[in-house]
Structure 1
Amino acid sequence: MKAEKLIAERGAAWEHLEKIVDRAIKSGPKAVDSGDLNEAIHLYREISADLAVLRTSQADPKLIDRINRLLSRAHGVLYRGQGPKKEWSLLQFYRVTFPRLFRQTWKCTLASFLCSALFYCMAYQVVQDRPDIAADILGGMDSEFKGHKEAGDIQDRFRAISSPVLSSAVTTNNIKVALNAFALGITFGIGTIYILIFNGTMLGGIAGAFAHSGIEGVFWATVLPHGALELSAIVVAGGAGLVMGFALWCPGRRTRIRALREDAIKAVQIALGLIPAFIVAGFMEGFITPSEVIPQSVKVAVGVALALGFWAHLFIGGLDRSESADAASVKVASFS
């Protein structure tokens, strides 16, 4: 491979490793989380191979020297104890690693949201225009909700079940749905898309059935306390599944097996990061939604606030100075 082609294809990877190493040296061990550390180790091995290619292709000696110095600094950080060490604490993972992984793969989460939202809107409109086929879309579930005119009418169904039992059942079910959305990414993302379409269609169909009856507000007043966070987490889980699916469809210069192995590590960590969100959503649905003491407006406000806090953490959690700078401006690789 000619040096010019290697520079064009690998320059971004060289610069990325340099950023991680610089952050580790300047800010200390805590500036680099376990996800970045694993990525740095992988980049170190790849760039070592790049250096060998540069040497055999008679590249610019200054470039060879620069890459050599980069690898020397990276080696000091990764293998000689001069830099960050692995931090596997749960606090570090949820505070830093999880939100950073989300930001690295946010486009897949956006695709997950758009897929769910599209079929939500379609099902909602179809049920509005053709209420007679609501049963076909919802599988007969529409009949379960007929006659509910107040939020309390639906909540009576929740109160009929012990709160701890309901909370446990809901949490388990939500984790199962998210796990399916994530794990089915292995089917080139097709299974993940099916789960997202199904959930979006069911939610849109139910909301449309309530709206056709003139009580859509009742539906959302009941769903939002727990559903705002729950649905957010399912969308992110779907995004994690699409990360794997995209790796299989578009592996780039990597083999599909290698692309899947590397991106699945990120996807698994994102899926694990969602567990607390599902536990909180299950608690809300088991204890808060059916409560007769807490005003409905307070329930909705708490549910929406939890969802907003969840998204805020994903977008700004673990943000460091170098990442903030990257968000403000895009630097052009200087390896030339």
Structure 2
Amino acid sequence: MREVAFIKQNKDKWLSFETAIFNNNFKNPDELASQYIQLINDLAYAQTFYPKSKVIVYLNQLAAKGFQKIYKTKREDSNRILSFWITEVPLIMYQYRKYVYITFAIFSLFIFIGIISAANDGEFVRSILGDQYVNMTLENIENGDPVAVYKSGSNWGSFIGITANNLKVGIMAFILGVFGGIGTVYILFKNGIMLGSFQYFFYEKNVFWESVRGIWIHGSMEIFAIVIEAAAGLILGASILFPDTHSRMTSFKQGAKTGIKILISTFPFTFFAGFLEGFVTRYSNIMPNWLSVGIILTTLSLISYYYLIYPFKAHKKWQYNILNPSF
């Protein structure tokens, strides 16, 4: 069968399944499972006879959405919250992994721009961080404690204030994606320039290592979470700009729903980063190097594994389940 005939023959069936998935109007789980199996058969057929066709990408994405829907209806899945963290979010991260890679690339570019700008303009850091902050930090460096700013205030006060601010930044990075992703890119620009110039400032004052072992105790999770939240914002923006086969409103609703799930998934990491900044970072100058480095590597490994590595394992499990369905 020619590819055109294959698509024409099954197009209505795929669109019907897709509409039901997006609108969440499947009342009969058995009907959903039956149509899902047909979709998987069509996907296998397309992979065999049209290996370079774009229809494979479409069916694969549709199958992923269908699996997420079916997974929720399985009887053994009694813990909805556990399913969200272990299955739903990782599958979403796998499906939209290119957005994460793009976001990291954009953020890294802005960090680099911040470093180059600070290196070539002695007043650049002050224009970004403000005279008061720079003067305070210079005084702290002279007193032998470059990151003394993290010791100000009480533990709980710092934790609450810092966490609230980080949540605000993350939520704004997502919400501003509604402007075609431009608002999200602005958040990345602002934070990337600030981070790059900030770290170069410590490098220039010969206290780079002292700043790293202090700032990145909490910064590993904090910055990583912001990047993931920005990726959710870009997904939201793309859903508006590139609706594909859906109406723009339907695509927007799906993009918003997906982005919100990603955003929510970052909250525990943001809370933990705030906890570290409020209760641990203030002791970075007196703790041994192996401990501060250990905390940095552990937190970075944990969040990196969840968002960059585990999604591939979740996807492999999903592939096994679609080949061995049990409803």
Aligned to 2:306: 313
Aligned to 1:226: 218
Is 1:302 the equivalent of 2:319? no
Post-superposition CA distance 1:94-150 (Å, at most 9, x none): 222222211111111222211111111111111112223322233334333214448
Question: Residue 272 of structure 1: CA displacement?
Answer: 0.5
Is 1:244 the equivalent of 2:236? yes
Aligned to 2:207: 215
Post-superposition CA distance 1:60-118 (Å, at most 9, x none): xxxxxxxxxxxxxx9xx96xx99558756322212222222111111112222111111
Post-superposition CA distance 1:20-62 (Å, at most 9, x none): xxxxxxxxxxxxxxxxx956957989x98xx9xxxxxxxxxxx
1:1-336 to structure 2, matched below 5 A, reads: 4=4, 7=7, 14=14, 83=74, 89-140=80-131, 141-149=133-141, 153-291=145-283, 294-314=287-307, 315-316=309-310, 319=314, 321-323=316-318
Question: Residue 151 of structure 1: CA displacement?
Answer: 10
Question: Residue 306 of structure 1: CA displacement?
Answer: 1.3
Equivalent residues of 1:164, 1:286 under 8 A apart: yes
Equivalent residues of 1:288, 1:299 under 8 A apart: no
Counterparts of 1:304 and 1:151, CA distance in 2 = 28
Counterparts of 2:279 and 2:234, CA distance in 1 = 33
Question: Residue 324 of structure 1: CA displacement?
Answer: 5.9
Equivalent residues of 2:94, 2:315 under 8 A apart: no
Question: Residue 6 of structure 1: CA displacement?
Answer: 7.3
Q: What is the count of residue pairs matched by the alignment?
A: 276
The change in CA–CA distance for 1:10 and 1:115 in structure 2 (over 3 A counts) is farther
Question: Residue 275 of structure 1: CA displacement?
Answer: 0.8
For 2:7, the aligned partner's letter is I
For 2:310, the aligned partner's letter is I
Post-superposition CA distance 1:159-189 (Å, at most 9, x none): 2311111111111111110000011111111
TM-score computed with the length of structure 2 as normaliser = 0.73
Counterparts of 1:259 and 1:280, CA distance in 2 = 33
Question: Residue 240 of structure 1: CA displacement?
Answer: 0.3
TM-score computed with the length of structure 1 as normaliser = 0.71
Equivalent residues of 1:244, 1:260 under 8 A apart: yes
Question: Residue 224 of structure 1: CA displacement?
Answer: 1.0
Question: Residue 4 of structure 1: CA displacement?
Answer: 2.5
For 2:118, the aligned partner's letter is V
Question: Residue 270 of structure 1: CA displacement?
Answer: 0.5
Counterparts of 2:9 and 2:189, CA distance in 1 = 37
Post-superposition CA distance 1:293-312 (Å, at most 9, x none): 63344123212211211121
Give structure 1 stretches of 5+ with no counterpart: 19-36, 52-73, 327-336
The change in CA–CA distance for 1:241 and 1:82 in structure 2 (over 3 A counts) is closer
Match of 1:131, SS state, is coil
Equivalent residues of 2:217, 2:296 under 8 A apart: yes
Match of 1:221, SS state, is helix
Bigger mean CA offset, 263-272 vs 92-101? 92-101
Match of 1:128, SS state, is helix
The change in CA–CA distance for 1:38 and 1:231 in structure 2 (over 3 A counts) is farther
Counterparts of 1:10 and 1:157, CA distance in 2 = 63
Please tell me the root mean square deviation across aligned C-alpha atoms, in Å.
3.7
